[in-house]
Structure 1
């Protein structure tokens, strides 16, 4: 008699296996390169991981000839033998399809565990660091709830004076987070240390099923192929900030479902981190990018959190000079620039041309405004910046007609009605592999006036979504600065 599946609040065990023919298995493994597939297989065959990634092996009592007959990928007799086989594949040339078929139809023909899928999914992140879109959230403490004059409990407010940050204990956090997730879905959690960055990554694999039995992961049930979603949460070392990725779905799930899952986690994570009389919440920092290194630079445990743009000299510990020293030469753009002159080796003072002086000043201004940030190839770029201009302009009217125009040079043209203000609807979007490096290049070329350029164009505010009012930027919906 088969067991009865009963809904439970327990999470999906890491040892639960998925049919190798399932689309989620072929998609997760198929996007890896040949070298990455071999590396993942060797990781599965490590002694510490064998209990969660046991391969299909030849039973001892069976005859070798009978077992190998008609089997394109004969099973190995031990994990050690299989590991040596994959080590030999590293030194041989071949196709990715060969390794993929060997895993699916040979060595793990009886199923791929959720732990194995998690390892393969994270390997793709290491191979393609910009494959995920991350948003930074700040962990802020809350005040104790208070009562108003009518005896009603008021919602807790943010405690701006508290320095208390909750400690992160993985097992307790996962247990508390599972209690916050809806009972009609099941999740598998996997924690992994980033290979190169000071991050702890939590991978959450969600299945739309109230059961944690193998039936919920079978293709016949349809839960894993049509209703599964994956989301990543990164915990940087020594920082009261977490990074949450955009959920990815394996089925035709709409954007609303992904947003609901993300909203559910944003609401459940602070509850899982909270302790008695130490409540916390998540606050958006209005910083979204695909670059984890940029997130760590702006919101990690480094000194560069509040020192962007030209202020980055204050955060550089390698600079021996005082940060109070000026960046521009004194006197600036002096005509007494010395330059080597070919010939007898004597040095002569050469007067710069007008074009050379303009170019030199533009480079110095860019250095002053950006510091050591915004450089092409530094690996700390953002791909998109969205801004809304909320500045108020004077309404300038013409005496000849009813046309209104904006006062660009600061001088009044026509009759000015100071009682009315004009706030045009202007939205700015910057696209590129490194937005602020592109702006820096435009300053160096003299296309953008670096001296009158607002600070938010250097990236020193550390936001990618914001509104500009009175020349100052604030985070989207009041978050950020």
Structure 2
């Protein structure tokens, strides 16, 4: 009797198995290194994952002799298979052999969507710069008067401190029902291994944009939503396609816009609505996003020179009742019984003072090679807002380019090119501004920069 297929708008279950010979399965797994594949196999073989990632073992009604012709005979038990992959970790070999063992041996009956999600997340951990992330701020909207019949869009409530309550299952139900009702997709939540955020992977197999009559993996798309702990922000990745389907770029843009419109709706509740506002912060460095927009760590509001107090080893803080020791006291002056150094030239004193000023303004941040570079051209613009009627002022526009703008500015301060004492705080990163305009000597926020 042939199988009966029933159309559904529900989320695809994690237990749904995909044929091991499907090209999409090989493409997802082949991106991983041999070491990562073996680590992934041991994760699949964990007791907690057996309901969704069980391997093909020797059936009870068969003998080992029945599989003598197999290149990879099935293991007699789960413990034996775990030991086999543990031994493979200690030996050298090729990645191709491990892949063949996956697809032709231990998971010959197919891989579940849950296993593919674990493989995709493993790749994200191995290559943290593989995704391009954009940071958005979750802002509350002013409640609408029931008697108001106007069609004006809701207004952002700048005085409200309300943030949405996030529950994964409730959010997924709302997202599927209100945003992606016609999309065949698999959703998977997972905690990041090293960063304080929750990752939601959305794997879209079929969408209303598809013109084919059957659901295939060709052109399937993956998009990530990252929810940092204790922060009113959400990070959204660019949709990535498995295949090179025609019109993939336009469809990805439509999907991205659909998510940006639907995420705040899924977070909203009756009489409590939210919207997403772009912070204009786009980077491939997820750790840098956490440092700038995350909330579950001490560095969120302690950038620039204040970063010295965010170190867990520092016991004294400006918030303490006892006055702290200034960070530069151990470097300057001849106090503390230290022997006074001999006279130095004016140039040496200027160089030393520039370095001390840079340390005071930037603290331990903005150093070349600190891993916070965005791997893209970061930009910051400044202008004086034009001219006035009574006094002529030049129109000045500055643009800073580079992989780590703040580290470059720090080097300019250390070399005395920029006056570090008169430099505004937004140039050190301590105001958390990435894009803005300077008018009358003050930084003005720009489209959700938070200032």
Q: Same fold (TM over 0.5)?
A: yes
* Corresponding position of 1:58: 58
State how far apart, in whole Å, the 2-side matches of 1:339 and 1:446 are.
Answer: 30
* Corresponding position of 1:121: 120
State how far apart, in whole Å, the 1-side matches of 2:21 and 2:438 are.
Answer: 52
State the SS of the aligned residue for 2:9: coil
State the SS of the aligned residue for 1:83: helix
State the SS of the aligned residue for 1:350: coil
160-169 vs 319-328, which moves further: 319-328
* Corresponding position of 2:401: 430
Q: Choose 1 or 2 for highest CA Rg.
A: 1
Conserved? CA contact 1:209–1:223, under 8 Å: no
Equivalent residue runs for 1:129-148 within 5 Å = 129-146=128-145
Classify 1:316/1:124 alpha carbon distance in 2 versus 1 (closer, same or farther; 3 Å): same
State the SS of the aligned residue for 1:224: coil
* Corresponding position of 2:358: 366
Conserved? CA contact 2:134–2:236, under 8 Å: yes
Classify 1:155/1:351 alpha carbon distance in 2 versus 1 (closer, same or farther; 3 Å): same
Classify 1:115/1:10 alpha carbon distance in 2 versus 1 (closer, same or farther; 3 Å): same
Classify 1:145/1:348 alpha carbon distance in 2 versus 1 (closer, same or farther; 3 Å): closer
- Which blocks of at least 5 consecutive residues in structure 2 are unaligned? none
* Corresponding position of 1:271: 265
* Corresponding position of 2:342: 350
Residue 284 (structure 1) shift: 2.0
Partner residue of 1:391 out of 376, 384, 387: 384
> Does 2:34 correspond to 1:31?
no
Residue 88 (structure 1) shift: 1.3
Conserved? CA contact 1:145–1:154, under 8 Å: no
Residue 174 (structure 1) shift: 0.9
State how far apart, in whole Å, the 2-side matches of 1:462 and 1:110 are.
Answer: 51
* Corresponding position of 2:305: 310
Higher strand share: 1
Residue 304 (structure 1) shift: 3.1
* Corresponding position of 1:234: 226
Partner residue of 1:456 out of 395, 412, 426: 426
State how far apart, in whole Å, the 1-side matches of 2:340 and 2:427 are.
Answer: 40
200-209 vs 278-287, which moves further: 278-287
Count of residues in Structure 1 that have an aligned counterpart in Structure 2:
441
Conserved? CA contact 1:199–1:237, under 8 Å: yes
TM-score (norm 1): 0.81
State how far apart, in whole Å, the 2-side matches of 1:475 and 1:229 are.
Answer: 34
- Which blocks of at least 5 consecutive residues in structure 1 are unaligned? 211-215, 341-346, 396-416
Equivalent residue runs for 1:237-248 within 5 Å = 237-248=229-240
State how far apart, in whole Å, the 2-side matches of 1:43 and 1:288 are.
Answer: 32
State how far apart, in whole Å, the 1-side matches of 2:8 and 2:255 are.
Answer: 19
TM-score (norm 2): 0.86
State how far apart, in whole Å, the 1-side matches of 2:6 and 2:60 are.
Answer: 37
> Does 2:82 correspond to 1:83?
yes
Classify 1:242/1:478 alpha carbon distance in 2 versus 1 (closer, same or farther; 3 Å): closer
437-446 vs 448-457, which moves further: 448-457
Classify 1:285/1:315 alpha carbon distance in 2 versus 1 (closer, same or farther; 3 Å): farther
Conserved? CA contact 1:386–1:427, under 8 Å: no
> Does 2:130 correspond to 1:159?
no
> Does 2:222 correspond to 1:224?
no
Residue 377 (structure 1) shift: 4.3
179-188 vs 6-15, which moves further: 179-188
